[in-house]
Each structure stands twice: as structure tokens, then as C-alpha cells.
Structure 1
Amino acid sequence: MNRTGEIPTILVADNCVISRRSISDAICEQGYKAVVAEDGAGCRDLLGKDKTDLLFLDAGIDDDKGVELLVAVKDNYPDIPVIVISSSISFEQEALFFKMGASEYLIKPLSSVRLAVTIKKALLESEYRKKDKLFSVVITHSPIAVAITDNTGHFEYVNHAFCKTTGYAFHEVIGKTPRLLQSGEHAESFYKELWDTIRSGKNWQGEFHNKKKTGELYWENSIIIPIFDPSGTLSHFLSIKQDISLRKKEQEALLQSERRFQELADLLPLPLIETDTEGMITYTNCVGLEAFGYTTEDLANGIHGVMLFLPEERQRVILNIEMRLKNIPFENHEYIGLRKDGTTFPLLVYTASIMHNNVPVGIRAIVLDITNRKQAEEKLMQLNQTLELRVQERTRELEITHKQMILQEKLASIGQLAAGIAHELNNPINFVRINFATLEEDIADLQSLLNAYRNVIDKVGKDLLPKDEVDRLRQLEHSLAIDTLCDELPGIFSESHRGFERITAIIGSMRNFSFCHDLQERVPFYINTGIRDALIITRNEYLSFADLTTQLEDLPPVPCNPEQINQVFLNLIINSAQAIESQKRSENGKITICTWFDNRSVFCAVTDDGPGIPCEIQHRIFEPFFTTKPPGKGTGLGLSISYDIVVHKHGGTLDVHCPPEGGTVITLSLPLG
């Protein structure tokens, strides 16, 4: 088969029927298509109608007119190979047919092996000749100049394009060397490096600034390829040349345009940056390099556009680039820029697509450093925030003052009420105590009289009184449990005395709490007394939830406002009790109050084993209105007021500490002087 995949067609032109048939059959057995012609006219007719790949021509066809027919075939169908077959051996005839263009000369009869080899050889040679002819036509008419020199550099072939480019005719070049074209603008070292390269068997590629026959200079891009013969000896050099003078002019014009653009861009006071569609920076002016701290070497090595932004900004940058390339508008153009040295600055980026033939090929961006604007905005925002904070702080102070005034009024009212109640209760309780003491003495007298009566009855009752009356008295004593009653009366009176003492202590504590000094007045005060009074008043708050213990050292008096300090103790004890209550424990919690002093201050620590205070809110517990209690359980002012009393009004300290094992310790200190 030939290169197109078709079965080659072989024409057999022979006057002899037997020979014609045997050859055509052998051709078919070899897998080829055979057609036959019995004379020269039939041969010409078939050659004109059908495609023929090979012709077997009988030398004696049409009464020995084979030579004439061969000449006619070669004139009209030069690409068809012709194999001459003959019945006789004639060296003169064989030489004549070869001279007229025959590919082979065979003697009948033909063996199948010889026939197969001859056909294959002829078809291959025909294919090679066609290729050579095609290559020759292509090279000859190629718009690219082609030249072939021998291994010494002398021209053996040049095509039309070479002659057109250089202005030399074919005969003016053949036998000459490329020195014919030298302009004198290349150094000898340039040509030496070229010859060293191609003589070593390597290809050379570069640009020549050569001279035409007219003396006009031109640029050409040339590839020179060494060619070796079958023995491996360097035989020729093939040069493929292209006139690039126009391209050079365009490049120079483009270079000048780029220089003008660069100069104009460098005059801009803002960074100008261009990227391709992949985000790689293709250009930036000098301000752009300075703004981000990069150099021209960095740009040559490759910088991706997203490297100019903080990592957390890059995903948004990529998304915005995609939207810009798709011509989809977006609003946020502000980013945080990242310099090469790692420093950051705020920037505003205006972008536009770079279009080529209505297709986006990149992004052009102008960058504005908005540090000053941001600083001004930040300063204005800080001023606004400061003003708002001042207004909020002043409003809060007014609210706190208002609530404290209300609370103080309430406390004052409660104090006055407590003082009135204590005064009103004190008199009747004194009456009851006095009457109770009298009653105790009277009961003791009655017990003495009862014992005396019983002694008399025991001695004489049996003889002087009727027995049934004595028994009735005995029975009445038994039913009334007179002995048990007499035994319990001392305990009842003792318990009642303790109750009177507790009522007296409560009334005393209420009097102490209700006593009101001037807000700015400072008097010596034993804080242990205040703690004891607070414990008496708050007993109902903690009794059901906590066991309370005290470790109170003997303390020197502290100059303070007693009512305010008592309020602090009251708040701390109630807070601890409510914290333990919030846990809803099956057993009581523990509250411990300790006092001590040094040479400058007295101290009091209130410790509970409640839930403690989370670390993240410990710094807020002294803020006004801040509370962790459920709605209705607290106002958030207790610890705030306590802090104000201890720290601001008395110059002490109030600290909170939550140990790792749990619970809360609140410690206050008051200066001795």
C-alpha cells in the first residue's frame, strides 16, 4: 500500500497474452491491483483515465515501438516509474531504455521473487522521488530563505526567498561564502563562536545584521544546522533564515512606546501595577516598587499580585480579580497591603481590565496609600468614642449617684424605722423581762410552798386526812406531772433568758446600724463590732445554707464612717450566702470571716466555698449594675457601692480571688491612719 492506504495500481502493457496474464496474476498475488493493455494505444488510454503507480512495458510492443511509448510516457507522466520487460537479451537495447528513463530492465519470463522485489523497489523509489520533488518545490518556493553550504562554508544552494532577501541572483551566490553578506557590525568573536558551535555538530541560532547587494542593511534570524553523511562525516550546513527587519522596527517602536509609557508612569505619584490573568505582576512603575519595598530583580524573578496583601485578604483579592475579569462590579476596594519587609498599611485599589481583541488579558490597578485618611478617621472615631464614653460615663455616674441617693434614702428610712422599732420594742420587752424575772421568783416561791405542803401531807396526811382525799391529790399530781414540770421550769426560764438576750442583741445591732453619722465624718471604729452586728442582722440569710465561722483578731480602731463600713460587711455576707444558695446543695456550705492587721492597715477576708467567679468576668464584678444573679435577685450595685465605699471614700482596697479548688475570697483593707 502507498502512504494514503490505497492499493497501488500496476499497468501491464504487453502484446503477448500469455506474458501479460502471467505478470498480472503474479502482481495480484503480491497484493497489488493489476490492469492490462495489449497495445500502446490501450496503454495511453489507461494512463489518461486511471491513476497508475507503476508501468510494466514490453520492449517489443507495437512492433518494437517500446522506446517511443516510453518517451511519450515520460513526457506526459514523469512521476510514473517504468519497468521494461523484454524477450531477448540486448545490452544496447537495455542501455537505450535506461537512457530514456526506465527504472529497471527485466528479461522474460519473470520469477515471482524477482517480480516482487522489483515492484517494491520501484514503488519505493517513486515515493522517494515524489518526496524529493515535493521538498524541492517547498524549499524553492518557501517564503523563508534557505541556503546550503559545504563544510567549508561555500554556497551550494539557495532558494528564491534567499535571492529576494539579499538581492543576489542564484549564480552570484553559488560558490561564494556568507562573507558576501557581512555588514561589518559583528565582531570576529561573534563569527568564531558561530563556527565553533556548528563545527562541533551543534545547532546555532541567532540574529545577523547583514548587508544586501544594494548596501541596505537588514536583520535576519538564522538557524544553522550541521548535516552529516551516512559515514558520520560533517558534509554540509543548512541555514534557515528569516528577514526580521520589520519586526525589529516594530520592536524598536514598541520599545520606544514602552519607554514613553514607563516615563509617564514613573511621573505618577501613585503605584501603577499590571498583572496577567493568572495574577502575576507584569509591570509596575518605580513608585509601585518603592511602596511595597520590592526591586526590579524581584519583579524579574516573579511576584504574584496576592503577595502585596495580607494572607487573610488574599481570598477576597482573588475573588475580586475574577469579578473584574468577568466585568462584574464589586463595592469593597479597600485592603491591607503587605510590604516585602512584613509591614502593613491600608490601601485603596482601583482596577480595570486590560483588553486585547475584546478579550481580557490582565488587570491594571492604581493603588492609593490611605494611611493618613485612616489615621484621621481613626482619630475622629476615637474622639467620637471618647465623647460617647464620656457621655455614657457621666450618664452612668448620674444613674449610680441617683440610685445611691435612693439607696441611702432607703437605708436612712430603714435606719429610722429600725431605730423606732427598736425603741418601741425595747420598752415592752423590758416590761416583759422584768415581769418574767418576777414570775421566775414567784414560781420558785410556789415550788417551795408546794414542797412544804407535800412534806406535811407525807407526815400527817395519812392520819388526819381521809384516805380518798389523799389518794385524789396523789392522782392529780401524777396526772399533772408536777415533778416533771418542776424539773423543766429552770430550763424553760434559762432558755427564755437567752431569747431575751438575743432580742436585746438584735435590737442593739439595729441601733448600731441605724445610727447615722455625716457622710464625710470619720470616727474610730472597731470593725469586729461591725462584723458581729452584720452577722446578727444577716443570720436569717445564711443560717439555712451555710455554716459560718469567724477568726477575729483583736484589732485597733479604724477611722471610718461606721455605717458605710457596716453596709460593706452586710453586702459581702449576703453575697456569699446567695452564692452558696444558688448551688442548691444538699449540705450546708461554709463561710469564714477572718480579720488581722499590720502596722498600716486592718484587713478582713470573707471566704465562701460557693461556685466562684469565672476568670473572664472577675474584672467586671465591681462595675455598677453588673450581676450574675437571675432577674429580680440583685441590682448589681452591692459590690459596686462596697468598692466605692472602701476604695474611693476610705482609701482602702477591695480585691477578689478565686482559688483553684473553688470558692471566692474577697479581701478588704482599711488604713489605720
Structure 2
Amino acid sequence: MNPVLKPEQLPLRFVLSGLAAAVLLISTVLVGMYLGEQTRERFHNVDRSWQTYTEHAAKRGELLSQIRAHLGYGGIIHNFKNYVLRKEPPYLTRLNIQLKNFHATVQEYKKSGASEYELGKLGIIEKTIRTYEEKISVAKQAAREDWPPSKTDLLVKVDDTKAISAMLALDKYLEIKRLEAARSISEAVVEGNRLVKTGFFFVGVLAVVATMLYGMFFLLLRKLRQTITKLSNELDDRRAAELVAKKFQRAVDQSPATIIITDTLQKIEYVNKKFCELTGYQLNEVLGQTPKFLQSGDISVAAYADISAQLQGNKKWQGTFRNLKKDGSSYWVETVILPLRDDTGKITHFIGLGEDITEHKKAREHILRAQKMEAVGLLASGVAHDFNNVLTTILGNVHLARLDAPAQGEFARELEQIEIAAKRARHLVGQILAFARQQPGKATGLPVGELIQEILRLIRASTQPNIKLDYDVEDDQLAVYADPTRLHQVLMNLCVNATEAIGTARGTVLVKAYRQEATDGNQPQVIISVTDDGPGIPPELQDDVFTPFFTTKRAGKGTGLGLSVVASHVNEMGGKITLESKPPGGCQFLLTMPEAKTGPTEKPVIEDLTSSGGKIMLIDDEPEVMATCASILRRLNYQVEAFDDPRKALEIFTKAPEQFDLIITDLVMPEISGQEVCEAARQLRPDCPIIVYSAYQPVGLELGNLKFARFIEKPFEPELLAKTVHSLLQPNDAEK
């Protein structure tokens, strides 16, 4: 049995050693507790700094990136300026959506615990965006009224320098916050390292007394140091990864192309913002679906199978789709589909990149349509030219026949009807030429009653017998001031639309015209109404009837350009057009035009323009026109030498230019034109009077520099030819 030593029995050195050991042990415990507390505090600082860093980087940084995206390329300012410059409704639609998202993002930022400084900068940005919102109405008005770019830019220009400065200040503020958090982490790490060194020092001093204790403590501190170093490295890696991810996300979100990523079963895993904006679908609506919901049916199932087989064979596919949007409308997209592979080369996903080419398709269709119209115009111009030659012959010979016929009787009336029909044909040919030239005519006073009767006569032949065409003109002297060709086209379009609206049912198209007295100092107006008793136009469609390409007709039955052209012509002539329709009670278009004061139309009186003589050279490659004009001139007591070959005529004129008192020549002739005849004749005899006539006056014909020169447009009446010749050969009599 071992004896138990009492304390007083222990040697003093053992007691002192024990006390020392106890003191050292207590010191070790106290130092350990101190170091443990300090280490815990440093860990707490690291955790707190990390939370601060995460809050700014992940939350407010993301919100600020969203705000920046709204203000950057493809954002609010970009779409606003595009709408101002191009006046295209899609930019306005995207602008309104982005404004809504912008305000939502700003509110979320404010609720995330933003400081007073951040709130102030956000207020500056919001103020600028509200200024843009206030300018939207001006931009809409500019688009409606087609203001010039300089006026529009002056009225919608917004100074966004303060908003840009505020955005930069917020970026800098958040960066400072991030740096402060990182600095706190770094300082905590440095302080931890210092504490670790201190701990190692105490472990060395007290190793003799508590080797195991200090050994375990040493391992703990070393592990702590490794953890802190690893954490610091992970922070750096995470920061770099976040920057790369943000750049990639911004690039994808701001891409002008649609991006779709699917798995190997073609189930959608990602779409970018451009896809959502173009199709109208939200991300959560398409995730997990296949792209079949976009298919319009234009491409067969077999063709899609070929595309899938090509992609499965590690090949890309490129082509064009006509897809459907969420609202059922279609769009064209040029698409490239690529397989995505992992490190082993195995296909894991497919990515589709698409470019919206809808506007390009429309532009191409417009160009083709314009080319067709140009060809039709050239054909119409040629046909009208030939008709005018025939009408010149008819009018001239009818005039000669009326001079020889008795003033009264059946024969005289028949000749008068032929002359009226020829003049009517001349008017129709003039409309064909106006269409072929595609340029506005000169505004003049037009008798409304005659114009309405003429249009109804034109469309009566193509109108179904179940439709009655009627008119009601308040006053036979009622006239409007307008371009004849454009007003004719406007009323023709409205009347044809009215007959088409009635269709196969029995109905009536009524065209009325009446005067609207002046009010508030304005000039009197003439109201022309076109009314049908068809089914009418639904209220929800009435605001769109004058919009280009809007139509309710079946595919292939209309382009949707008729009423938009009508509205354009009416506005250019200084009038206005409105629609009144209450289905099923029919439809009424009201056309308001400025009134023109015209007197009663007098029938021209054939004057006695018989001359005292004179020799005229007549040149025309059309024998009938040449013979008719020669007969008229000879009837007026002129000597006429007629030529159907301009070369032969110039040979005769060159030999004796003084023997001819006047040259009359057609403008359009083979080999030598009328203008070349004029130039050659004036070189031989500068004072020789010349008359040029043609079915139309082309651009480039200049007679203003040729003294004693006149131009007559075919078909002309004999009186006009006689007066023109008389004015050149007897100028003193013409002045009387």
C-alpha cells in the first residue's frame, strides 16, 4: 500500500514546481481561453464581412446590373431613340415593357436596405427615366404627324448625363462597399495569422508542461490557418467566376439574336430575353417544353426529322423558319442550330441562334411589288401613248366631219356623240398616264357631280347586279379644290370597297355631296360621303382601318394598302377622312375637302382661225395622225408639206430653210426624235417657229430656251392646234 504524501510532506522544490506547474497550467488555460476568444472574434469578423460582401455582390450588384441593362444597348434609352428615329411600333412596345421592369427593379433595390446615398442616386436615375416617359407622347405625336427628324429631336431630346453620373456613382459606391468588406476579411485574416504566431510562441514556452495540450492546440491553429488561406483563395476564385458569369449573362441577355438551349430530348432549359420579347412567352412558360409550340405548320414532319438527324450526326443546321408568337401572329427567323458537346465529345445540349428577318421579308415583298407596279406603269404608258395617237386622229376627223355636216340633224348628233366619247377616252387615258407616272397632279377646281357620275359609270360594269349605285349632289355647281387623279383614286377605292362589303347580298352604295358652311373663320368645306348597307366594321377594328397592311379580307384578296393610301392622299390634298360604322347597320366614310368656286362650264366655241396663208412642215411617223393634222391645217388655208420620215424632212429643210414658216413635229419617233429635229432646225434657222406634240411630255424636254416654240399634249382638239399655229404665225392677232 503506497503511502499518501501530505502536502506538508512534499519537498519545497516539488511544491514550488507544482505551484509553478499550476501557474503555468492556469496561464496556459488563460492564454488558451484568450486566444480562443480572439480567434472566435476574428472568425465572427470574417463571417460578418463575408455576409456584407455577399449582400452587395449578389443582391444589390445584380439589381444594379439590371438597372444598367435597362439603360444600355437595347434598353429604355436605346428603344426610345429608335422609336423617335424609325417610328416603328415594336420599339414603343419594348420601351413600355422595359419602363415597367425598370421601376420594379428600382423599388426592389430600395427595399434591400439601400443607404441614403444610394436612394439619392436612384432618385436622379428615376427622374431622368420619368423625363423620357413624359416625352413618349411627343414621340407618338411626331410619329403620327411625320415630323422631320430635326423637329422631333429638338422636342424629345433628354439630358441623361446626370443619370449616367448617378449610375457611375452607384457603381463606385458598391465597389467601395465591396472593397471595405474584402479589407475587413483581409484584416481579420492578418489578425488571425498574428494570433496564430502568438499561440505558437506560447506553445513553445509551455511545451515542457503541457506538450499534448499545446500539440493539440498547435494542430488546431494550423488547421485554422489552412482554412483561412483556403477561404481567401476560394473568395478570389469566386469573385473571378462571378465576373465571368456576369459578362456572359449580359452578353446573352443583350444579344440581338434569340437563343434557345435544349437537352438532347429537345426540352427547353434556357431562352434569353430577346426570345421572350419576340415571341411573347415568359421563361417559366417554355421551360421543359419542346420548341414544337413555335411551329407554324409550313415545314413538314419529315423535314423536322431530317433536321434532328443532322444534329444528331454532330452537324449544324441552318435555315429559315416561319414561327408563331404567343398571340398567334407569325414571324420569320433565320436560324442556326448547333450541338453542344462535353469534354468527351458527347452531345449534351443543342443551342439555337435566331435572327428576326420579318422586316427584311416584308421589305423584299414591297420591292417585288414595286417592281411589278413599275412594269405595269411602263406598259400603261406605252398603251396610253398609242391610244392618244388614235384619239388625236378621231378628234381631228370628227371635227372636220362636223364642219362639213349640217348643223342640225341625226348625223350632227352622231358626230357629237363620237366627239364626246373620244374626249371621255382622252380623260381615261390621262388617268392611265397619271398612274404610270406615279406623281401628283396639280390641284384644281373639280365639279363634284361630274366626278361622282364618272366614277359610278366606271365601276358599274364590274359591280354585281344585286347592288344599286346611286348618288345625291346638293348643287350642280358644287366643286372641290383637289388633285383630279388623287381624288378620283380616293373615291374609286371607297366605292369599290363599299360594293365588296355588300358582297352577294342585295344592297345600295350611295355617294352624297353637300356644302358645309364656314365656321370660326375657316373656308367652306364640301362633304362627300360613301355609304353602304353591308355588315359594317366591328368597333374594335375601326381604329386600324387606315393602318398599312391591315385587312379583313381573306389571304390573296387584298394587300391592306387601299385605305392607308386613301388616307395618305386625302391628307396630302388638305382634307380629312373619317369612318362611321355601327354593325350591322352598314358603313359610311366621310371625306371633307376645301370648296372651290367655279362658274358654269361653257362649251368651247369653234373660232374662225382661217389664215392668210403660210407654209408648214409637218413631221409624224404615224400616217393617220399626220394625215389628220395635214387636213386640219389645209382647211385653215395653210400650205402643208407632210413627212413620215424625219431624216427626209431635215434633208428638205436643209436645202431651203426659209421656204417654211413653221415646223410641227411629233416628239417620239424612231431613229430621230422630235427634240433632235428642233435642235437641227434651229442650227440652220434660229428664228424658225416650232410646235412639238406628243402623248406625254417626258422629263428632260426643255423648250423654254427655244424662242417661238410650243408644246401640245396629245390627244388635242383641232381648235388647240389651230390656236397654237395662229399664235406663232400671227402673234399680233393672237394678242388681240
Q: TM-score when scaled to structure 1?
A: 0.33
Larger radius of gyration between Structure 1 and Structure 2: 1
Which one has the bigger strand percentage?
1
Which one has the bigger helix percentage?
2
Q: Highest relative contact order (Cα 8 Å, sep 6+), 1 or 2?
A: 2
